[in-house]
Every structure is written in structure tokens, then in C-alpha cells.
Amino acid sequence: MLVHFRIDDRLIHGQVTVAWSKHINSQRIVVANDEVAKDDIQRSLLPLAAPPGVEVRIVPVSDAPENTKDKRSLLLVKNPRDALTLLDLGLDAKEINLGNMGFAQGRKNLTKSLSLSDEEIRQLKEIEGRGVRVYFQMLPQDRRVPLGELVR
């Protein structure tokens, strides 16, 4: 069962594996990204960052809904486009946690660890328009900042 859905361009890393996995008591981490699913190096390295005893599945976006059904799952995607695609595929999500999205050309800094392009903001607003709560929160103990407080 999907227990946490996070957009984080770093995918599996210390904050996710240590803080979020423990906080939600996940049994599985599902990384959903078409490019990563085809990359043998990332497929071999990402599981090394997972906590002991937590299964890791790295799948194309289209396979993610099926891979979050039978175990307490933390679902990770790299960008809002993949999150929107998952909703289009019928993934039942009530909320999406924005994590790190680094600065790049075409993105504006909203916090020190969250930068978004106009297109990504549009996609996140579309997600909210579907009744899914979108918020920024790096660690479980941090305050949730609703998307509306970050973008107007």
C-alpha cells in the first residue's frame, strides 16, 4: 500500500532512507522513473543507499502503481511530470511531498533546496486541482509548507 509519495530529484539518499523510511515504517521503496529504470549503474547503486530490510524496486513510471500495492511503500519520482503521469494511470494518492529539486537553468529558487520551473509549477497546480495535497517538507520533523505558500 502506498504510504508516502515524494518528488525528490536525488531519489534514494540519506534523508529519504533514514528519516522517511523509518518515519512511515516502509517495507519497500519504489523508484519510478523511465530513464533510471534503464540505467544499469543507477539500478545497482540506488539500492545500496536503502536501509537494511527495506526492499527496493526501480521501475518505469507505468509499473509503479502495481509495485506499491502489496507492501508499505515509499514511492519516489524525480519530477512533477512523472507524478502527474502516475495520477493519470490511476494511482490513488491523497498527498505528495516535495523534497529536494535542485537549481537548474529555467528554474527559480523557492527555498534553499527547492527550485521549480514555470512548467513544473503548472504541473503541481494541476495535481492540486485533482484534489491531491502538495506540500514541501524535507524531513518528517520539519513543518509542511503548502504549495500555495511557495508559489502564487
Q: With respect to residue 38, please indicate whether it lies within any of the assigned structural domains.
A: yes
Closest to 93 in 3D by CA, of 79, 116, 73: 73
For residue 41, what is the domain's CATH number?
3.40.35.10
Task: Provide the residue range defining the domain that includes 67.
Answer: 2-141
State how many domains the chain has: 1
Q: Which residues carry out catalysis?
A: 13
Q: With respect to residue 151, please indicate whether it lies within any of the assigned structural domains.
A: no
φ/ψ of residue 57, rounded to 5: -125, 130
Q: With respect to residue 147, please indicate whether it lies within any of the assigned structural domains.
A: no
State the cell numbers at 52: 537494511
Confidence of residue 78 (pLDDT cuts 50, 70, 90): very high
pLDDT digits (tens, 9 = 90+) for 25-57: 999 999 999 999 999 999 999 999 999 999 999
Q: With respect to residue 47, please indicate whether it lies within any of the assigned structural domains.
A: yes
Q: With respect to residue 80, please indicate whether it lies within any of the assigned structural domains.
A: yes
Q: With respect to residue 149, please indicate whether it lies within any of the assigned structural domains.
A: no
Sign of CA dihedral 102, 104, 110, 112: positive
Q: With respect to residue 150, please indicate whether it lies within any of the assigned structural domains.
A: no
Would strands 133-136 and 95-98 be described as parallel, antiparallel, or unpaired? Answer: parallel
Query: Partners of 7 in the beta sheet?
Result: 77, 98
pLDDT digits (tens, 9 = 90+) for 103-146: 999 999 999 999 999 999 999 999 999 999 999 999 999 999 99
Q: How far apart are CA 132 and CA 51, in angstroms?
A: 28
Question: Which amino acid belongs to residue 11?
Answer: L
Q: With respect to residue 35, please indicate whether it lies within any of the assigned structural domains.
A: yes
Assess whether pLDDT exceeds 80 at residue 77.
yes
pLDDT of residue 14: 83
φ/ψ of residue 42, rounded to 5: -65, -35
